[in-house]
Amino acid sequence: MSSPLILINAKTFREGMGNRAHMIANAAQLVAHESGVTIGIAPSYIDLHPLAHHFAIPVYAQHVDGFEPGAHTGHITVDAIKIAGAAGSLINHSEKRLALAEIELSVRALQAQKLISVICSNNESTSAGAAALAPEYVAIEPPELIGSGVSVSKANPDIIRKSVAAVHAVNPKVKVLTGAGIQSGECVKIAVDLGTDGVLLASSVVKAKEPAVVLRDLVSKL
């Protein structure tokens, strides 16, 4: 198995914007270097270009529209994030849901530019549905765990295990991220033991006073 991926979603948190985005990316690069674990960041659109050019870690968009360059005022195309230096993009995050056909269009457009697709899903069925679109990753965010502060190990881990099985039944090449309920290195280890290939997380890193300390803990059991 390849190294797990720790993917930090900066959302539109004030603590993950501008200078703070740089500080978090810097911590991610440091801890990735120390640990050998891949750590990526999905910053605000405005930080996409600066971060991708200042740091060696993979930088993701938080969303991407699958259409061609053209008359799409206010949207963000794969063309744009490619120019900005992105490695890939989240798609269909629970805070930015897309229609099924739009998700597919975004995956196809990313693949045409050799960028990585991470489709977010919310349960076993939608994870299987996402896997059918052949992205690189499906990130499962069980609604009962989002922002709950409840560790995936304390909650019923069955939803993760079943989602992994459902994804691989549809397409065994698709990797899975655990997208909620990650508080600590112990949680990351459990997520990997449940068959996932890493984690997608947000506030625990982004709002930390010292993101490097939190990141070192997150990779500590791998």
What residue ranges bind a copy of itself (CB under 8 A)? 9, 11-14, 17-18, 42, 44-50, 62-63, 69-77, 79-81, 83-84, 90, 92-104, 107, 121-123, 125-126, 128-134, 147, 166, 170, 202-203
Contact 90, 139 (CB under 8 A): yes
Q: Cβ of residue 112: shortest distance to a copy of itself, in angstroms?
A: 14
Residue 62, both tokens: 């938080």
The SS3 call for residue 95 is coil
Amino acid at 165: A
Whole-angstrom distance, CA of residue 96 vs CA of residue 81 = 17
Catalytically annotated residue among 75, 104, 141, 168: 141
Q: CA 14 to CA 214: how far, in whole Å?
A: 18
135-158 burial, b for 16+ CB within 10 Å, e for fewer?
A: bbbbbbbbeebeeeeebbbebebe
Query: Residue 139 or 190: which CB sits closer to a copy of itself?
Result: 139
Nearest residue (CB) to a copy of itself, 3 versus 148 = 148
Q: Which residue lies nearer to a copy of itself by CB, 151 or 203? A: 203
Is 93 an active-site residue? yes
Burial class of residue 169 in the structure, from the number of CB atoms within 10 Å of its CB (0-12 exposed, 13-18 middle, 19+ buried): exposed
- Tell me if 64 sits within 8 A of 48, measured CB to CB: no
User: Residue 118 CB, nearest distance to a copy of itself (Å)?
Assistant: 12
In the bound complex, what is the minimum distance in angstroms from residue 170's beta carbon to a copy of itself? 6
Query: Catalytic: which of 93, 104, 124, 136?
Result: 93
CB 220 to a copy of itself: min, Å: 26
For the question of residue 49 being annotated catalytic, the response is no
Nearer to a copy of itself, 9 or 178 (CB): 9
**Catalytic residue positions, numbered:** 93, 141
